Structure 1
Amino acid sequence: MLPLLMLLSILLLLALGVPIAFTLGITALIFIFVYADIPLNMLIQQLYLGTNSFPLLAIPLFMLAGSLMNYGGISKRLIDFALSIIGMVKGGLAMVNVVASIFFGAITGTAAGASAAVGQIMIPAMKEKGYSPSFSAAVTSGGSSLGIIIPPSVPMILYGSISGISVASLFLTGIPIGLTIAFGYLIVVYLISRKKGYHFTEKPFSLRDIFKTFVLAIPALLVPIAIFGTILTGLATPTESAAIAVICALLASFIYRELTIKSFIEALNESVRNTALVMFIVATATLLGYSFSLLGIGRQMMEPIMAYSDNPIILLLIAALILFIGGFIFDGTVMVLVIVPLFLPLVNATAVDPLQFAMVVIIVWAIGQQTPPVASGLYITTAIAKVSMLQVSRYNIWFIFVLFLTLMAMIFYPDVMLYVPRLLIS
């Protein structure tokens, strides 16, 4: 009964337009005051402890690196390089959109950041070349999901902070999974482009052009190389690599001479606002999770699922379904900080690979970025393209289908999906 009352309370506050962070905090406070008797200072401590984590320090640093990339002229060089590689294929500009999302997934760490960075450049360019605005928005929105699967990934940092799994292991797991999804996206883009008649060549193949754009993009490519290189070699932790990424982004912006004092301040302001939003949600979600533990709600919710603890596939399917439903209601940050901790003891007590469950969570989060009412990636791209979500959805459903197939493969064939990540981690 208590879990249902808390859910109804959250839904009522959201329906009244209360921001998600305040909704979580208010719900936790009400139920703790009514059903528990603890000192108020304990709640303040929980808010503080929710954000007092060294791995979480990587979040503002990666967000700053992404903002510097956007304001420093780095985005354009990466997209020009992608266009020189794949621009000669039918529907090439749409494929460039996906490839650009891979680059920005390796920089921004968020779906919203990737969709904004790529969308502002690619959507107008695609519309100018004759692609429909709704298809342009769908490709950009689908590609933005790579921002939370290909590291550095803010969701992976959050997941690592609550699960105890090494963030570096999560990052190394996300690389091949993200590239697999990107390959599926390229197939979808090619098939839709053929069907819609987007057969014009975006850019003729030229080794000289590839070399020229590559040289110009070298400073921009330093950022993902610095991130992955330092983590793979063990020279830096993910948090330390985030600081290195900021330095590389500053150096690249200085080389391109497009980062002014004004745009630098704007980049700082943007990263501060985004970080404050995420960390405020983290703090209040931690308080709600504390109320779950204090009132025994987690145990009440997990008891019916315990019957399937001896069947990892059924357990993961149930977990994916609950997370999927949660993704319709909550932001992915809330889903990971509130719902995932309820499953972790059950996962740790069964034969489920912790990395397998982690990737199930991240992929479901990616699906949630594409499905209203949350759908932050979709909101941004539809606003840029000036089209409705309904128009975009007829194309976007195919990108969601790729994510769904990856999710099912992760649940039913984990040894295949995690083969390369396990090689990288070992």
Structure 2
Amino acid sequence: MSDLLLLAIVFTGLTLIGAPLFAAVGLTTFLALFLIDIPYTLMAQTGYTSLTPFPLLTIPLFVLAGRLMETGGMGARLIGVATSLVGAYRGSLGLVTVFACMLFAALSGSGPATTAAIGSITIPAMEKDGYKTPFAAAIAAAAGALGSLIPPSNLMIIYGLVSETSIPRLFLAGFLPGFLITALLMITVYIIARRRGYGGSGVPFSWGPARKAAWDGKWAIGAPVLILGGIYSGAFTPTEAASVAVFYALFIGLVIHRELNARKIIEALRFTALMTGLLILLTPTLAFGQLSAFYDVPAAVESAITNITTNPVIVLILIGIFYIIIGTFMESLAQIILFTAVFLPLVTSLGIDPVMFGVFTVITCEIGFLTPPLGGNLNVAARISNITIEAVSVAVLPFIIAYCIGLLALIFFPDFVTWLPDLVYGPAR
């Protein structure tokens, strides 16, 4: 127990002084290896095995595909589709931003990437329409987090690898919760816009403009149909689907829309390298997770929580509070790797489906995207709108409440998460 206390103090201290997370986890892991006299080669072995799983290729490929689709004109066309559907309502540009982020989430797999793709277009438009800049940035940040929930989701891929849960089942499980949270975010935008007097376009909905926008955006709409349809029909695996998405984005951007060029492709590759650089966390966090099993941390956590309660709802609420607090300063990837091994045995012993726990984990990570000081989406939105992260942090609070309401709904009604994958693949065994 004294060793665990020392490790906790070292990790917390390194985090508080601003050490990069991979360094904090890595140094703590080296200290743990020293204390229990395990060869340091464990880190090298873990580094090799952590980067060999073939499905890991899915993450950079989906990020690259999403960036190519954005710079190739698909993002703007998705905004056109969203505008034709909700542009006449109160707070229309805010509603368009949420709806467009939901659509683009099916292309990118990343929360910050979705915020950057849609927010860079809609935040300036909202400012011109009279929206206060922090509110406009908050909408883009909150809606962009849908990129990590609606499939294909990079965080679900990581959770699936760590927990050995079916990735296609996780993808299917993300749809209904994604639509629920989209609706909650749109309701939040509408209520605030109505109170502040942000108007709509004044043009009533009609099928003509909607059909025209859908025709103009048919290639963008076809992307998730091709990607997800191929996965669920069995035509290709998620990794193969990501490769198909990259070639699809290149073909549409170069041949159909003709908005891609060499400079944009190079920029997309650079963006992908920056976004997927977080995979450096895999080695130290997986090694740290293995050491937590050596110290019997999962059993200790299970014993501590079950001594308080064995009610699955209360247990999930407690874990959710912990995840949200941790998410304020820890990267989502590290959070999933470190704590899935700790909490998954507990929740499965209480009868909670691993797929349900995966969606639950991803939503708590989305809230982490919206909470400072880390707040990945907040930083992206703040940079786009040229304001401080503090200003966006205050404006995003109503949307965090919307996410928490959605999370509670899933905790109380877990079948809402597992219904679709159970319908398609049958109940999990």
Q: TM-score, normalised by structure 1?
A: 0.94
Which amino acid in the other structure matches residue 114 of structure 1?
A: T
Give the C-alpha shift of residue 296 in structure 1. 3.4
- What does 1:312-323 align with in structure 2 at a 5 Å threshold? 312-323=312-323
Q: Which amino acid aligns with 1:22?
A: A
Aligned to 1:171: 171
Relative to structure 1, is the Cα distance of residues 167 and 309 closer, same or farther in structure 2, using a 3 angstrom cutoff?
A: farther
Q: Which residue of 2 aligns with 1:209?
A: 209
What is the CA-CA distance between 1:308 and the residue it aligns to?
5.3
Superposition deviation, residue 297 in structure 1: 3.7
Q: Secondary structure at the match of 2:57?
A: helix
Structure 2 counterparts to residues 203-282 of structure 1, below 5 A: 203-254=203-254, 255-275=256-276, 277-282=277-282
Output the CA distance in 2 between the equivalents of 1:371 and 1:4.
27
Amino acid at match of 1:17: G
Q: Residue 38 of structure 2 aligns with which residue? A: 38
Aligned mates of 1:202, 1:75 — CA distance in 2:
24
Q: CA deviation at 1:85?
A: 1.6
Matches within 5 A, 1:6-155: 6-33=7-34, 35-155=35-155
CA offset at residue 309 of structure 1?
Answer: 7.0
Q: 1:424 to 1:183 in 2, by over 3 A?
A: farther
Aligned AA (1:97): T
Structure 1 counterpart of 2:7, one-letter code = M
Check the 8 A contact 1:111/1:377 in 2, yes or no.
yes
The letter for the 2-side match of 1:381 is A
Residues 1:342 and 2:337 aligned together = no
* Secondary structure of the corresponding residue to residue 303 of structure 1: helix
**Contact 2:176–2:416 under 8 Å retained in 1:** no
- Aligned-residue Cα RMSD (Å) equals 1.8
> Structure 2: where are the runs of 5+ without partners?
none
Any conservation in 2 of the 1:3–1:301 contact (CA below 8 Å)? Answer: no
> How far is the alpha carbon of 1:136 from its aligned partner?
0.4
Counterpart CA distance in 1 for 2:203 and 2:385 is: 23
Structure 1: tracts of 5 or more residues without a match: none
* 1:257 aligned counterpart, secondary structure: coil
Q: Which moved more, 1:120-129 or 1:35-44?
A: 35-44
C-alpha spacing 1:196/1:150, structure 2 compared with 1 (3 Å): same
Q: Once the two structures are superposed, what CA deviation does each residue of 1:71-115 show, in whole Å capped at 9, x if it has no partner?
A: 212211111121112111121111100011011211111111111
Moved more, 384-393 or 359-368: 384-393
Q: Aligned partners of 2:179 and 2:316: how far apart in 1?
A: 23
Measured after TM superposition, the shift of residue 375 of structure 1 is: 0.9
State the 1:416 CA deviation: 4.0
CA displacement at 1:285 relative to structure 2: 1.0
Cα deviation digits, residues 25-62 of structure 1 (max 9, x gap): 111012211x1222232220012212221222210110
Is the contact between residue 87 and residue 200 of structure 2 (CA under 8 Å) also seen in structure 1? no
Q: Does 1:392 align with 2:426?
A: no
Q: How far 1:361 moved relative to its partner?
A: 0.9
AA aligned opposite 1:103 = L
Check whether the contact 1:2–1:297 (CA below 8 A) recurs between aligned residues: no
Please say if residues 328 and 373 of structure 1, whose CA atoms lie closer than 8 Å, have aligned partners that are also in contact. yes
Look up the match of 2:407.
407
- The share of aligned pairs that are identical, in percent, is 34
1:303 is the counterpart of 2:272: no
- Note if contact 2:329-2:373 (Cα within 8 Å) is conserved in structure 1: yes
Report whether the alignment pairs 1:363 with 2:363. Answer: yes
Deviation of 1:421 after TM superposition, in Å, equals 4.4
Report the 3-state secondary structure (helix = DSSP H, G, I; strand = E; otherwise coil) of the residue aligned with 1:176: helix
Cα offset for 1:228?
Answer: 1.4
Displaced runs of 4 or more, over 4 A: none
Q: 1:318, 1:72 → 2: CA distance?
A: 44
1:347-397 deviations in Å (ceiling 9; x for gaps): 232311222212221111111111112210011112211233443344311
Question: In 1, Cα distance between the equivalents of 2:390 and 2:316?
Answer: 31
